[in-house]
């Protein structure tokens, strides 16, 4: 994570936006007088966070996810290749 002051961010906003566009995983923490005041992140990362929060907030979906993770950890999962073949999906 990159950190910069609010003044630096203001003066370099276009450059910061271009960097985040090139490297969507890049997160920039903005500080004001040494205190963290905001975080800049790509739309891609933001949407992934929102989707994760929606899943976690949906008790039924979150329970299914936890169960699926336990099954995978127990060796009951299938590879994507095997699942595609079983469902007769081709590209």
> Quick check: pTM over 0.75?
no
> Given the DSSP bridges, would you call strands 35-40 and 2-5 parallel, antiparallel or unpaired?
unpaired
Closest CA to 25 of 3, 4, 9, 2: 2
Q: How far apart are CA 9 and CA 17, in angstroms?
A: 10
- Tell me which of 7 and 81 has the higher pLDDT: 7
Q: Check whether residue 36 and residue 51 sit in a common domain.
A: no
Inform me whether the pLDDT recorded for 90 exceeds 80: no
Q: Is residue 91 part of a domain?
A: no
Q: Which residues are CB-contacts of 39 (< 8 A; sequence separation ≥ 6)?
A: 27, 28, 29, 30
The SS3 assignment for 26 reads coil
Strand partners, 39: 29
- Domain range for 19: 2-42
Q: Is residue 75 part of a domain?
A: yes
């Amino acid at each position: 994570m990159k950190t910069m002051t609010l003044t630096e961010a203001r003066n370099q906003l276009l450059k910061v936006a271009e960097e985040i566009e090139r490297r969507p995983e890049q997160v920039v923490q903005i500080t004001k007088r040494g205190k963290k005041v905001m975080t800049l992140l790509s739309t891609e990362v933001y949407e992934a966070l929102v989707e994760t929060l929606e899943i976690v907030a949906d008790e039924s979906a979150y329970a299914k996810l936890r169960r699926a993770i336990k099954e995978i950890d127990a060796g009951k999962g299938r590879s994507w290749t095997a699942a595609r073949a079983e469902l007769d999906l081709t590209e």
